[in-house]
Amino acid sequence: MRLPHVLLAAAAATLALPAGPPAAKAQNLAPDAVGNAFYPRTIKVRQGAKVAFKIGGFHDVVFPAKGHPLPAFHVPDPARPVAGATDAAGAAYWFNGQPGWFIDPVNVVPTGDGVIDGKAVDGSGVYQGEGAPPDYVATFSKKGTYRYVCTIHPGMKGKVQVVSRHAKAPSKRDDAKAVDKQVGRTVKLAAKLDAEQITGNVVRAGNDRKEVAFLRFFPAERSIKAGETVTFEMSKRSTEIHNVVFGTPDLTADAASRFISIGASGIGYDAFSVYPSDPGTIAYDGSNHGNGLINLGLMDADPGTSLPARESVSFPAAGTYTFICTVHGPSMHGTVTVS
């Protein structure tokens, strides 16, 4: 999918560019769907123009220095290993000694002066206050092509082409039409993906393609026979990360609340939500680890990380077993019913 270039109407004008679909149009998306894209992806502006990135949802906007790739949003750090992790029965988890996972500060803290020239990193940071994030305003004073990304969602990227102050510019109506056209494609694709049926003993964490991502399991309810195995998988081109955590609602909600924390070692992920509770395929009967709390580990579809794209769990005994994604909280939940 390619978006036509959009010219800014005047050299001193400010173009509003949503990170995620504009709020008024996002309500047309299928339930639990998000659009992990910039609207539009490609723009042309005159020298001196400003672009106000309107951040809707959990996104950032980062312009890397030319020739210097940005660090990943989250990375394992062997210098800061997991330590002291135990289960409810008091047994040490196998992942003690494994690298802790941390968010690189360059992706969290606002960086640069907002004047984009490709010489240094400029970025919005991740908004941590209450309410809607403020706009991230970038100024483009030199001709050239400047690429930017959301470091949180791999594949969410855009491009600003800066041209002479004397270049032609279409009307605001043309700008709005370009955005509407891209949003329309997002809404149409989300509806198509929402209607797809995932067959077999498979549960997909989201049913994603291109910019569309779902914060929902497909299907949210799966029925199997005792002794069978369910495979939880990512979509091939998802821009999200997910995990699958089984346990009672109070225990899984508590695990979700501890997913990200700030400590002496930095901003990190709780090791329980990152690593599988046990290596290999887990046999789950609701009593594992003393309280029935297990995790299949973080998964993504990004070939640049060490995370897997699928994990499996077997169910030897009949029962109804609930699970959530602790990355996105208890609202992303499901059940496996074993007969």
Confidence (pLDDT) at 212: 97
pLDDT at res. 144: 92
pLDDT of amino acid 265: 79
Span 14-74+104-191 CATH architecture: Sandwich (2.60)
pTM for this prediction: 0.90
**pLDDT at residue number 168:** 76
* Sheet with 310-314, edge to edge strand ranges: 217-218, 202-205, 229-234, 310-314, 282-283
Domain boundaries, the chain: 14-74+104-191, 196-338
Residue by residue, pLDDT tens for the chain (339 residues) are: 233 333 333 345 688 899 999 888 888 999 999 999 999 999 988 889 999 999 988 999 999 998 888 878 898 999 999 999 999 999 999 999 999 999 988 788 899 999 999 999 999 999 888 888 899 999 999 999 999 999 999 899 999 999 988 887 666 777 788 899 999 999 999 999 999 999 999 999 999 999 999 999 999 999 999 999 999 999 998 999 999 999 999 999 999 999 998 887 788 999 999 999 999 889 999 999 999 999 999 999 988 888 999 999 999 999 999 999 999 999 999 999 999
Give residue 153's pLDDT: 93
Helix, coil or strand: residue 165 = coil
Q: Spell out the CATH class of 196-338.
A: mainly beta
The conformation of residue 5, written as its DSSP 8-state character, comes to P
CA–CA distances in Å: residue 208 to residues 205, 216, 237, 268, 274: 9, 10, 7, 26, 21
Q: What is the pLDDT of residue 23?
A: 82
Q: Where are the alpha helices (DSSP H) in the chain?
A: 23-26, 172-195, 249-257, 271-274
Find how far residue 249's CA is from the centre of its chain.
23
Cα distance between residue 16 and residue 2, in whole Å: 20
Biggest distance spanned by C-alpha atoms of the chain: 72
**Do 14-74+104-191 and 196-338 share a fold?**
yes
